[in-house]
Structure 1
Amino acid sequence: MAFAAINSAAMHIPAIEEAFATAPSLKKRVYDAIGSTPQHTPLFEDLARHTSALLARTVKTTSLPLVPPPSEGPVVKKRKIQNGVAEELAQAPVNVKDDAPIQFYVQDVSFAIPQRKKLTLEVTAGYSYLRARNQTTKEVEFGVPMNRIRHALCLPVPEKTQKQFNFCIVPEFADGVTPPPEGMTAFEPMVFMIPDGPAKAAFDGSGQQVGNEAGDSGEALLRKILNQNLTTTSVVRPDERQFVSAMSEAHRKNEKAYHVKAFRGSKEGYLFLLSTGILFAFKKPLLFFSFDTIDSVSYTSVLQRTFNLNILARPNGGSGGAEGETQEFEFSMIDQADFDGIDAYIKRHGLQDASLAEARRAKKYNVNGGNKGEDGAPGAGDAGEEESELQKAQQELEDLEDEDEEDYDPGSDDGSDGSGSSSEEDSEDDDDEGVDEDDEAGSDGEEDLVKHELGSETEDVGHEKQ
Structure 2
Amino acid sequence: MAFATINSGGAPIAAIEEALATEPSLKKRVYDAIGTTPQHTPLFEDLAKYTCTLLARNTTTTSLPLAPPTGDGSAAKKRKLQNGDSRETAPASVDLKGVDVPVQFYVQDVSFAVPQRKKFTLEVTAGGRYLRARNQTTKGIEFGVPMDQIRHAQSLPVPEKTQKQFNFCIIPQYADGITPPPDGTPAVEAMVFTVADGPAKAAFLGTGQQVGHNEGETAEGLIRKVLNENLPHASVVRPDEREFVSAMPEAHRKGEKAYHVKAFRGSKEGYLFLLSTGILFAFKKPLLFFSFDTIDSVSYTSVLQRTFNLNIMARPATGSDADTQEFEFSMIDQANFSGIDTYIKRHGLQDASLAEARRAKVYNVNKVEDAAAASTGGAGAGADEESELQKAQRELDDQEDEEEEDYDPGSDGDSDGSGSSSDEDEDAEHEDADEAMDEDEDLIKDELGSEAEDIPEDE
TM-score (norm 1): 0.62
> How far is the alpha carbon of 1:368 from its aligned partner?
1.7
Deviations for 1:306-337, whole angstroms, at most 9, x for unmatched residues? 00000000112xx2x33321000000000000
Q: Give the 3-state SS of the residue equivalent to 1:126 in structure 2.
A: helix
1:298, 1:309 within 8 Å by CA — same for their partners in 2? yes
2:271, 2:281 within 8 Å by CA — same for their partners in 1? yes
Structure 1 unpaired stretches of 5+:
1-59, 71-76, 379-401, 404-466
Q: Which amino acid aligns with 1:304?
A: Q
2:84, 2:185 within 8 Å by CA — same for their partners in 1? no
Q: Give the 3-state SS of the residue equivalent to 1:339 in structure 2.
A: helix
Deviations for 1:31-63, whole angstroms, at most 9, x for unmatched residues? xxxxxxxxxxxxxxxxxxxxxxxxxxxxx9x97
Q: Give the 3-state SS of the residue equivalent to 2:321 in structure 1.
A: coil
1:258 corresponds to 2:255: no
Name the counterpart of 1:299.
Answer: 300
> How far is the alpha carbon of 1:212 from its aligned partner?
3.7
CA distance in 1, matches of 2:192, 2:106: 16
1:82, 1:179 within 8 Å by CA — same for their partners in 2? no
1:186 corresponds to 2:195: no
> How far is the alpha carbon of 1:364 from its aligned partner?
1.6
1:201, 1:209 within 8 Å by CA — same for their partners in 2? no
Cα gap change, 1:338 to 1:63, in 2 (>3 Å):
closer
CA distance in 2, matches of 1:88, 1:290: 21
> How far is the alpha carbon of 1:99 from its aligned partner?
1.3
Name the counterpart of 1:146.
Answer: 147
> How far is the alpha carbon of 1:208 from its aligned partner?
7.2
Cα gap change, 1:377 to 1:250, in 2 (>3 Å):
farther
Deviations for 1:68-120, whole angstroms, at most 9, x for unmatched residues? 389xxxxxx9897995478964523x122111111110000000000000000
Q: Which amino acid aligns with 2:355?
A: A
CA distance in 1, matches of 2:160, 2:144: 28
> How far is the alpha carbon of 1:291 from its aligned partner?
0.1
Name the counterpart of 1:376.
Answer: 405
Q: Which amino acid aligns with 2:250?
A: E
CA distance in 1, matches of 2:182, 2:87: 12
Deviations for 1:398-444, whole angstroms, at most 9, x for unmatched residues? xxxx99xxxxxxxxxxxxxxxxxxxxxxxxxxxxxxxxxxxxxxxxx
Name the counterpart of 2:386.
Answer: none
1:343 to 341, 344, 355: 341
Name the counterpart of 1:123.
Answer: 124
CA distance in 2, matches of 1:204, 1:224: 12
Name the counterpart of 1:367.
Answer: 396
> How far is the alpha carbon of 1:142 from its aligned partner?
0.6
Give the 5 Å matches for 1:258-297.
258-297=259-298
Name the counterpart of 2:441.
Answer: none
CA distance in 2, matches of 1:375, 1:352: 35
CA distance in 1, matches of 2:292, 2:338: 20
Count of residues in Structure 1 that have an aligned counterpart in Structure 2: 310
CA distance in 2, matches of 1:63, 1:98: 9
Structure 2 unpaired stretches of 5+:
1-56, 68-76, 364-394, 413-459
CA distance in 1, matches of 2:140, 2:164: 31
Q: Percent identity?
A: 70
1:312 corresponds to 2:313: yes
Name the counterpart of 2:330.
Answer: 332
Q: Which amino acid aligns with 1:139?
A: G
2:89, 2:181 within 8 Å by CA — same for their partners in 1? no
> How far is the alpha carbon of 1:203 from its aligned partner?
1.3
Name the counterpart of 2:159.
Answer: 158
1:68 to 65, 68, 89: 65
RMSD value, Cα: 2.9
Name the counterpart of 2:383.
Answer: none
CA distance in 2, matches of 1:274, 1:244: 10
Cα gap change, 1:377 to 1:203, in 2 (>3 Å):
farther
Cα gap change, 1:349 to 1:85, in 2 (>3 Å):
closer
Deviations for 1:245-274, whole angstroms, at most 9, x for unmatched residues? 000001112110000000000000000000
CA distance in 2, matches of 1:109, 1:91: 19
Cα gap change, 1:330 to 1:87, in 2 (>3 Å):
closer
CA distance in 1, matches of 2:201, 2:92: 31
Deviations for 1:271-317, whole angstroms, at most 9, x for unmatched residues? 0000000000000110000000000000000100000000000112x
Cα gap change, 1:163 to 1:333, in 2 (>3 Å):
same
Relative to total residues, which structure has the larger helix share, 1 or 2? Answer: 2
> How far is the alpha carbon of 1:375 from its aligned partner?
5.5
Q: Give the 3-state SS of the residue equivalent to 1:367 in structure 2.
A: helix
2:85, 2:184 within 8 Å by CA — same for their partners in 1? no
Q: Which amino acid aligns with 2:65?
A: P
1:245, 1:259 within 8 Å by CA — same for their partners in 2? yes
Structure showing greater relative contact order (alpha-carbon pairs closer than 8 Å, 6 or more residues apart): 2
Q: Give the 3-state SS of the residue equivalent to 2:335 in structure 1.
A: helix
> How far is the alpha carbon of 1:182 from its aligned partner?
0.3
CA distance in 1, matches of 2:348, 2:406: 40
> How far is the alpha carbon of 1:369 from its aligned partner?
4.5
Q: Which amino acid aligns with 1:224?
A: K
Cα gap change, 1:134 to 1:65, in 2 (>3 Å):
closer
1:91 to 90, 93, 112: 93
Q: Give the 3-state SS of the residue equivalent to 1:103 in structure 2.
A: strand
